């Protein structure tokens, strides 16, 4: 048991944010947490993202070419599944914050996740679980998958979604928990954590959208080609000679799904190996139950007047919070109606015309801190709503962008480029931009703004949204040129492949990567940072829910566009034959929708005020002359509002 009885171990060596070990004992700062503990968590995320995107990045190709689904049906199946993947974290967040804690919820979710990956690998490996290949390549010669085949495959997919709900809202929160907000140097490290966290995520995605997609797309045709040996060597270096033997005995989609499954096994093993180094937070109770209680109490006491002095509202002693290393929040005037939940029974009874305080049930009394925590989550909901459309745009990269690539020339000499591999340019661009942002842009801007993040989180998100609009405009223009070429060369009716390089799509992938560097990182950090201390998992889950809702919205929009534009016998904007479609109109519509959404986001951002504790951030001025031993100066500084 860690008790700090070693030489020189005083109370100041313990963490001050209430962190404990798995047995509930206080932890020494020197023994647990920090970047040492985070290294295991980051390595887990690297392999897990490789596993997830090894499935997701090429999913639309498998559904259309192996399960023989149409373009719209396959795209909607992809976004429906992705939507579920990012909505289930709400369940995991509630379970973690209320009962199991983040660590054990994560472990349980990992077990379910791994079961789904194994089932999915089985579905693509056993011949009886796959429909026969197309006889002649035409749509009528492609037999549909049976109910059993679809059931096993989609059963694996949605088992992954369920497991993802336990892992995703907790892993990044566990990582952030390794830094003590009450210790200035550690709080400073935490400011960079999410940048490097996302860097690791997209490094894993980069591998999955290059090596794994290549194996899935090309291995059947190129088993005897020298490129096979180069990729086998690369994979062998990464996963050891065991995987090399596996690759030699199993090919194509079996290999492409088997590697992610092995990667997930490795990632879980790495995470568990770091258990002795982790700091943990004790579950604080269900955040949804707390918020429900506050709202119900305020409604119950709707006729009760508020006291003139907010200090007359119910609150616990400061020692109650300090003993738990928590925050006590002061009452605010925003959403004043909810303050009624903290009116004391005697005052409430008097406000209703006298009588006994016993008339008020005990459950109707909440603390000011509970009320303010509820307000903070409610304040995030409008901004969360404006995150849905940007996430809808992100979903296009894994669906229609990929299908565009199928219509183009994918050869570089003898090398065959899988369409889904262009997603690697999103990832690579984002990796570069994150490094440039964290190492160069933030220090330069910080000197002018005095904000430790350089710019506020909402400003970062808005820049990402603006870049997304530019991306969709460029995508619409490129698609218009592609369609013009198809018409000029008589390839509309046949739907044949255009003799135009697939790399004409490169600008839209690169621009989306730049946008993600601002939007994706800013979004996850914003919802984590602005959630109350007792609801961090819920805050992370909220950011993921936007992706879920965005994917579901993508399905709804695509289905509606197909139906509306196909009325009266007209050709829909999106059909199986993309040469006869009008994807340029569809992308222009998404750009217009994104512009309207950005306007709403800016209006809401201007009215938003940051959480009180998070405004006491750390500002650091580093001496430029390292040769003279530059020293960091740490001070408290109020964050400028968005």
Both 222 and 92 in a single domain?
yes
Cα separation, 391 vs 587, in Å, equals 14
Asked whether the predicted pLDDT for residue 129 surpasses 70, the reply is yes
Domain boundary among 374, 394, 413: 374
Q: State whether 369 and 498 are in the same domain.
A: no
- Domain membership flag for residue 5: no
| Residue 6 confidence (pLDDT) above 60 | no
What Cα–Cα distance (Å) separates residue 100 from each residue in 105, 271, 276, 535? 6, 18, 18, 14
| Same-domain status, 215 and 321 | no
Q: Render pLDDT for 235-252 as a digit per residue (tens, 0 to 9).
A: 322 332 233 223 323 346
Domain match, 314 and 421 both: no
Residues 529 and 542 in one domain: yes
Q: Any idea which of 108-122, 320-334, 388-402, 570-584 has the lowest mean pLDDT?
A: 320-334
Same domain flag for 209 and 331: no
Final residue in a domain of this structure, among 283, 299, 328? 283
> Percent of the chain at pLDDT above 90?
35
In the numeric block, which tokens belong to residue 388?
Answer: 């849905």
Buried b (16+ CB within 10 A) or exposed e, 202-225: bbbbbbbbbbbbbbbbbbeebeee
- 603 and 552 share a domain? yes
pLDDT, the chain, mean = 80
pLDDT digits (tens, 9 = 90+) for 145-204: 999 999 999 999 999 999 999 998 888 888 888 888 778 788 777 766 766 666 666 665
Residue 111 lies in a domain: yes
Dump pLDDT digits (tens) for 76-88: 999 999 999 988 9
Closest CA to 370 of 300, 470, 288: 288
Residue 398 near residue 82, CB atoms below 8 Å: yes
> Domain containing 225 — which CATH number?
1.20.1250.20
In a domain, 623, yes or no: no
Q: Are residues 590 and 501 in the same domain?
A: yes
Q: Is residue 628 domain-resident?
A: no
User: Is 351 part of any domain?
Assistant: no
Same domain flag for 523 and 391: yes
* CA 591/CA 609 separation, integer angstroms: 29
Asked whether the beta carbons of 313 and 307 are under 8 A apart, the reply is: yes
- Predicted confidence at residue 641, as pLDDT, reads 35
Backbone angles phi, psi at 57, to 5 degrees: -65, -30
Residue 321's alpha-carbon distances to 28, 181, 284, 586, in angstroms, are 20, 15, 12, 53
Tell me how many domains the chain contains: 3
Q: Both 443 and 521 in a single domain? A: yes
Same domain, yes or no, for 369 and 381?
no
Instruction: For residue 508, give its domain range.
Output: 375-610
553-588 burial code (b ≥16 CB/10 A, e <16): bbbebbeebbeebeeeeeebbbbbbbbbbbbbbbbb
Q: Does 428 fall in a domain?
A: yes
Banded model confidence at residue 351, pLDDT cuts 50, 70, 90 = low
Q: Between 177 and 424, whose confidence is greater?
A: 177
Assess if residue 417 is contained within a domain: yes
Domain annotation covers residue 18: no
Instruction: With a cut of 90, say whether residue 622 has pLDDT above it.
Output: no
What would the pLDDT profile of 138-162 be if each residue is shown by its tens digit? 445 788 899 999 999 999 999 999 9
Helix, coil or strand: residue 570: coil
Residues 338 and 466 in one domain: no
């Amino acid at each position: 048991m860690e008790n700090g009885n070693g030489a020189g171990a005083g109370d100041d060596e313990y963490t001050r944010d209430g962190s404990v070990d798995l047995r509930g004992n206080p932890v020494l700062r020197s023994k647990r947490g920090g970047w040492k503990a985070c290294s295991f968590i980051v390595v887990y995320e690297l392999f897990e993202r490789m596993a997830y995107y090894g499935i997701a990045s090429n999913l639309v190709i498998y559904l259309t070419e192996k399960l023989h689904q149409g373009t719209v049906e396959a795209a909607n199946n992809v976004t429906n599944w992705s939507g579920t993947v990012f909505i289930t974290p709400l369940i995991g967040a509630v379970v973690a914050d209320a009962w199991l804690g983040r660590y054990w919820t994560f472990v349980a979710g990992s077990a379910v996740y791994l079961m789904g990956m194994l089932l999915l690998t089985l579905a693509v490996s056993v011949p009886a679980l796959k429909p026969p290949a197309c006889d002649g390549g035409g749509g009528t010669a492609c037999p549909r998958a049976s109910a059993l085949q679809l059931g096993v495959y989609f059963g694996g997919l949605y088992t992954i979604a369920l497991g993802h709900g336990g892992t995703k809202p907790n892993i990044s929160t566990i990582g952030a928990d390794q830094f003590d907000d009450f210790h200035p140097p550690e709080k400073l490290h935490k400011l960079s954590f999410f940048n490097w966290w996302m860097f690791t995520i997209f490094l894993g995605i980069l591998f999955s959208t290059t090596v794994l997609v290549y194996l899935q797309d090309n291995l059947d045709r190129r088993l005897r080609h020298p490129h096979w040996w180069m990729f086998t060597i690369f994979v062998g270096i990464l996963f050891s000679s065991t995987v090399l033997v596996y690759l030699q005995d199993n090919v194509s989609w079996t290999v492409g799904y088997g590697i992610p499954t092995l990667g997930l096994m490795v990632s879980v093993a790495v995470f568990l190996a770091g258990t002795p180094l982790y700091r943990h937070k004790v579950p604080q109770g269900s955040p949804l139950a707390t918020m429900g209680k506050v709202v119900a109490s305020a409604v119950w006491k709707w006729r009760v007047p508020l006291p003139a002095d907010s200090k007359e509202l119910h609150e616990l002693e400061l020692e109650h919070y300090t003993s738990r290393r928590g925050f006590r929040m002061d009452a605010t005037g925003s959403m004043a109606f909810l303050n009624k939940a903290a009116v004391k029974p005697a005052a409430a009874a008097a406000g209703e015309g006298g009588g006994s305080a016993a008339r008020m049930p005990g459950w109707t009394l909440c603390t000011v801190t509970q009320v303010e925590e509820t307000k903070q989550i409610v304040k995030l909901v409008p901004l969360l709503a404006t995150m849905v459309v940007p996430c809808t745009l992100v979903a296009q990269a894994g669906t229609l962008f990929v299908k565009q690539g199928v219509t183009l020339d994918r050869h570089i000499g003898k090398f065959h480029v899988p369409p889904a591999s262009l997603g690697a340019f999103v990832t690579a661009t984002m990796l570069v931009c994150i490094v440039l942002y964290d190492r160069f842009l933030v220090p330069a801007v910080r000197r002018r703004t005095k904000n430790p993040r350089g710019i506020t989180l909402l400003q970062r998100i808005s820049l990402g949204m603006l870049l997304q609009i530019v991306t969709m405009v460029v995508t619409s223009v490129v698609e218009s040129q592609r369609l013009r070429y198809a018409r000029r060369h008589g390839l509309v009716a046949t739907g044949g492949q255009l003799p135009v390089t697939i790399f004409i799509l490169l600008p839209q992938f690169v621009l989306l990567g730049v946008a993600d560097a601002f939007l994706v990182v800013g979004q996850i950090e914003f919802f984590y940072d602005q959630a109350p201390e007792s609801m961090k998992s819920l805050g992370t889950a909220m950011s993921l829910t936007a992706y879920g809702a965005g994917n579901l919205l993508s399905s709804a929009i695509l289905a509606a566009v197909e139906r509306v534009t196909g009325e009266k016998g007209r050709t829909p904007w999106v059909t199986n034959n993309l040469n006869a479609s009008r994807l340029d109109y569809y992308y222009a519509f998404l750009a217009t929708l994104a512009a309207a959404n950005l306007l709403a986001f800016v209006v809401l951002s201007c009215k938003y005020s940051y959480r009180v504790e998070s405004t006491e951030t750390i500002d650091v001025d580093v001496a430029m002359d390292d040769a003279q031993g530059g020293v960091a100066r740490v001070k408290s500084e109020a964050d400028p509002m968005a």
